[in-house]
Amino acid sequence: MGTAALHFKKPKNEVFDATTAVTRMPDDSVLIHADRRDSEGRLVHYRVLNELIRKLILEGEKRIIIEGVTGHRYIAATANRKDVYIEIFGTPGNNLGAFLDGPTIEVFGNAQDQTGNTMNSGKIIVHGNAWDVTGLAARGGTILIKGNTGYRVGIHMKEYSGTKPSIVVGGTAKDYLGEYMAGGTLVILNRKGDSERSPIGLSVGAGIHGGKILVHGKVERHQLGPGATLGPLTGEDVPELEHLIQEFEEAFKVQVPRDWESYVKIVPLSSRPFSGHYDPTSI
Amino acid sequence: MSSQTSTRKRQELEAPERYRPVVDHELCKRCKKCVNECSYRALEFVDGVVKSAGGCVACGRCINVCPAHCIEIRQVPSQFPPHANFNERVRRGIMSQASTGGVLLTSCGTDVPYPVMFDDILLDAAQVTNPSIDPLREPVETVTFLGGRKGRLEVKGNGRLYMEKDPGPVIAMDMPIMIGHISLGSVSYNAQKALFQAAQELNILAGSGEGGLHKDFYPYANNVVSEIASGRFGVTGDYLKRTAAVEIKIGQGAKPGHGGHLPGEKVSALISETRMIPLGTDALSPYPHHDIYSIEDLQQLISVVKESTEYKVPVGVKIAAVHNVGAIASGIVRAGADFITIDGFRGGTGSTPRIIRDHVGLPIEVAISVVDQRLTAEGLRNRVTVCAGGSIRSSADMVKAIALGADVIMTCTAAMVAMGCRVCQQCHRGICSWGIATQREELVARLDPEVASARVVRLFRAWNEELKEILGAMGIDSVESLVGNRDRLRYFGPNSKIAEIMDVKHVGEGWG
């Protein structure tokens, strides 16, 4: 029987220390060179990078720029200061901004899976695509994606007592969008799509019992999952949509048309989708 | 079909009652306490006397409050014609479902009389060749550590012991007992407070359940294991960092593969605030975690939790015992978990479909041994703490579970019974007359957290004393030496195949 290699062994990293990996910029921001390699040619480990980010935030840094990010996971997990702004160049790995509570993260590139996992507040801006399970179980904050997004986005987002999560996607989304959704707003802008092809996949809003999904373009009833239904935009949706679109336009410096009549709203049939499913009789 | 028809039919075909409170009218003081206290409305005061109103669940609250001691709950003899195959339970289920068309709900651990292997195991004791120890006069250690055990202890030439720099966080508990995960929502504020208070006093751990951690309970956080389940209720960075350990819940013994469902009527302001979910809507925990479809995905969630807690607390994974539990446990350890919790199929719950509770999973006795054997064979056992629960009813079950291979036992129902629960299996209805499994303020007020907590403390202290007694009798001076010590167990049951699988010798087999 062999013994497997130990996980989570703290990686050695000779060159990556605060003195060589961090440059103070003229505008008082700090630049982290995440593309540094150690003497054996290994990339900076995510543990080392994240520890450095935590240290810088703790020291009161407000603007942190990370360049050369190559799939580093869990960046800024649980970061919780509202005045912190993190700029990422490259491709951050999975779980970017997990449990995020306040800061703004801007990615100049694509994000991978589980971006904004169980996010509490703050903002994540992705100048590219953000893939599967983006915004999983988020209960606050905003995620803006310029490009497309993948499967199961916005699953189990929920709102409570004044906090409300929003995700705005510039392009398209895949299946199971807003599954189990219990609150918040998902917007699919479908900026480059044609009106003939639906920008979302199948089983949309399966088990949805709160919140709404606003889709610019064609949605057919067969695309909806159990518990979801289609409804027209109402008076209160337009100001909210206007606000989110403005945020999107500001973030990406683009123009989005205000053709409200092209939007379809997906909403829950009930806030108690399974109330009749069970028999509580004591036998 | 109109609903009126079905209501009518239901009334016509209602199943006969199972329990009936019988009042001795000569002794009765007509104080009506029992009528007022019965949250199931099974008693009424009519024509100057207390009468049974039907729907009694034998929770025993009326007996407890009656100042004249004049109430007795009788089990109504079966009103069904005898049939061993279509027994009363089967027929009641059919009748109820024919009326409601729903999935039958129930709570607590399964009451189906499956064989209990704990009851088929006998313990060894020290005689002549190895002396027994008197735990009242000699030290018998029950301190138990929960956490990863990575790194090696090295003995250098100078005779000194060296540890790897960062062996990872561990928690020392005074006894190998963990109060399992019981969420605020499934139980009341007072019940959870009592459990946390007891855990603090005993210096053991108690699980938060998937309900977040109420801010009033922050003083107990050093004795709380916070849970991340598929609904991510109440999970914030602060919640993860505050508690002693974090457990990712994949499954629960009473409902393997099933999610959670807290009905909207139980989502009060208190629950909404703690779970961070909308008031009055159903709190649905998805069946799987939607970011975990593989061991590699699990590794990511473990890693993100470790990053989030800055590697300061142990991170574990809880699974329901299922057929392939050994391989799954191996994957969990390789994914970096510091502890692994296995929940057997007889484990309790505040609500589960009866079909799952009664028919899915693996008994904990077998699961513990299988996991211990598999991890040992793969050279992984020394890296993790194994916690095991799923109907640990007594200190005897605890001793046997540890000897089968668990480091820590997890129990919930025993703590509930200590607080007043009578295991009437009505938790899912949310009107627990003892103030435990309910959110109704007037019922919650019935449970005094101080009294309840003291009872839990006494129970587990007694169990720990019994553990010491049995360790002493076996000639073992530390509970850690009992872990996985299956040589000190003998199987005395009907099925030697089970003994073989559990790696326990049959009674009569020696080793010399």
State the ipTM, two decimals. Answer: 0.91
Calculate mean pLDDT across residues B176-189. Answer: 96
Which residue ranges does chain B devote to CATH 3.20.20.70? Answer: 172-506
- Cβ pair A124, A103 in contact under 8 A: no
- Calculate mean pLDDT across residues A265-281: 86
Average pLDDT over residues A143-151: 98
Contact B166 A50 (CB under 8 A): no
CA pair distance A116, B444, nearest whole angstrom: 37
Give residue B407's pLDDT: 98
Whether residue B300 and residue A101 make contact (CB cut-off 8 A), yes or no, is: no
What local confidence, expressed as pLDDT, does residue B1 receive?
35
Contact in structure between A44 and A13 (CB atoms under 8 Å): yes
Q: Show the tokens assigned to B121.
A: 């195991």
Residue B445's pLDDT is: 97
> Residue B281 and residue A210: Cβ atoms within 8 Å?
yes
SS (H, E, C) A162-195: CECCEEEECCCCCCCCCCCCEEEEEEECCCCCCC
Q: What is the tens place of the pLDDT at every residue in B446-474?
A: 999 999 999 999 999 999 999 999 999 99
Cβ contact A102:A84 at 8 Å: yes
| DSSP states along B58-92 | ---HHHHH-TT--EEEEEPPP-S---SSS-HHHHH
Query: Model confidence at A15, in pLDDT bands (50, 70, 90)?
Result: low
A257 is in which domain, residue-wise? Answer: 129-268
Q: Is residue A102 part of a domain?
A: no
The span from the CA of B262 to the CA of B430, in Å, is: 10
Closest CB from B100, B284, B353 relative to A281: B100
Q: What is the DSSP string of B374-428?
A: HHHHTT-GGG-EEEEES---SHHHHHHHHHHT-SEEEESHHHHHHHT----S-GG
Q: Which of A72, A78, A82, A208 to mutate to test the interface with B (most CBs of B within 10 A)?
A: A78
**∠ Cα B340 B346 B351 (to 5°):** 95
pLDDT bin (cut points 50, 70, 90) of residue B5 is very low
**What is the rounded average pLDDT of the residues B213-226?**
96
Tell me the residue type at B24: D
pLDDT of residue B8: 43
- Name the percent of chain A lying above pLDDT 70: 93
**Cβ-defined contact of B281 to A281 (cutoff 8 Å):** no
> Using CA atoms, how far apart are residues B305 and B299, in angstroms rounded to an integer?
10
Closest-CA residue of chain A to B293 = A133
Number of CB atoms found within 10 A of residue B431's CB: 17
- pLDDT for position B172: 95
Task: Determine whether the interchain pair B272/A273 forms a contact, defined as Cβ–Cβ distance below 8 Å.
Answer: no
Specify the CATH number for the domain of residue A162. 2.160.20.60
- Does the beta-carbon distance from B237 to A10 stay under 8 Å? no
pLDDT at A6: 31
Chain B residues whose CB is inside 8 A of the A279 CB are: 96-97, 99-105
- Alpha-carbon B386 to chain mean position: 15
pLDDT at B361 over 80: yes
CA distance A223 to A200: 8
Interchain contact A120–B (C-beta under 8 A): yes
Closest CA to B149 of B432, B377, B379: B379
Tell me what pLDDT residue A16 has: 61
Residue A236 lies in a domain: yes
Angle (nearest 5°) at CA B469 between B468 and B475: 85
In this predicted structure, the answer to whether residue A12 has a pLDDT above a threshold of 90 is no
The confidence score (pLDDT) of residue B479 equals 97
Residue A159 lies in a domain: yes
What spatial distance separates the first Cα and last Cα of chain B, rounded to whole Å?
73
User: Which residues of chain B does A7 touch, with a Cβ-Cβ cutoff of 8 Å?
Assistant: 299, 334-336
Domain membership of residue A44 (yes or no) is no
Exposed e or buried b per residue across A27-40, where buried means at least 16 C-beta atoms within 10 angstroms of its C-beta:
eeebbbbbebebee
State the burial class of residue B114 (Cβ atoms within 10 Å of its Cβ: 0-12, 13-18, 19+).
Answer: exposed
Q: Would you call A117 an interface residue with chain B, using a CB distance cutoff of 8 Å? A: yes
Give me the amino acid identity at B365: E
- Give mean pLDDT, residues A91-111: 97
Closest Cα partner for A165 from A223, A111, A211? A211
Residues A265-278, mean pLDDT to the nearest whole number:
87
- The pLDDT score that the predictor gives to residue B13 is 74
CB within 8 Å: A180 and B379: no
- Which CATH code of 1.10.1740.10, 3.30.230.30, 3.20.20.70, 3.40.50.1000 fits the domain covering B172-506? 3.20.20.70
CB contact under 8 A, B286 and A155: yes
Residue B164 reports pLDDT greater than 90: no
Which H or E run includes A18? Answer: helix A18-21
Q: Which among B102, B151, B306 has CB closest to A278?
A: B102
- Round to whole Å and give the CA distance between A270 and A219: 20
Q: Which residue has the tokens 């994949």?
A: B250
Strand partners, A33: A67
**What CA–CA distance (Å, rounded) separates B257 from B200?**
32
Quote the radius of gyration of chain B (alpha carbons, Å): 24
pLDDT of residue B3: 40
Give residue B226's region: left, alpha or beta (phi > 0; psi -120 to 50): beta
Q: Is A141 on the interface with B (CB under 8 A)?
A: no
Q: How far is A220 from chain B (nearest CA, A)?
A: 25
Q: How far apart are CA B195 and CA B172, in angstroms?
A: 18
And the tokens for A93?
């790995």
Contact state of B286 with A6 under an 8 Å Cβ cutoff? no
User: Does A175 reside within a domain?
Assistant: yes
Distance CA B262, CA B283 (A): 5
Cβ of residue A39 closer than 8 Å to a chain B Cβ = no
Confidence tier at B165 by pLDDT (50, 70, 90): low
Collect all residues of chain A within an 8 Å Cβ-Cβ radius of residue B93: 283
Could B300 and A274 be called an inter-chain contact, meaning their C-beta atoms sit closer than 8 Å?
no
Which residues of chain B make contact with A162, given a CB cutoff of 8 A? none
Q: Cite the DSSP H helix spans in B159-294.
A: 189-202, 237-242, 269-275
Select from B259, B260, B224 the least CA-distant residue to B240. B224
- Interface A-B, measured as beta-carbon pairs within 8 A, has a size of 178
* Cα radius of gyration (chain A): 21
Higher pLDDT, A276 or A58: A58
In a mutational test of the B interface, the residue from A3, A101, A117, A281 whose CB has the highest number of chain B CBs within 10 Å is A281
According to CATH, the topology of domain B3-105 is Alpha-Beta Plaits (3.30.70)
Q: How many domains does chain A have?
A: 1
Q: Are B50 and B20 in contact (CB under 8 A)?
A: no
d(CA B101, CA B87): 20
pLDDT score recorded for residue B11: 54
d(CA B350, CA B363): 19
* Confidence category of residue A2, pLDDT binned at 50, 70, 90: very low
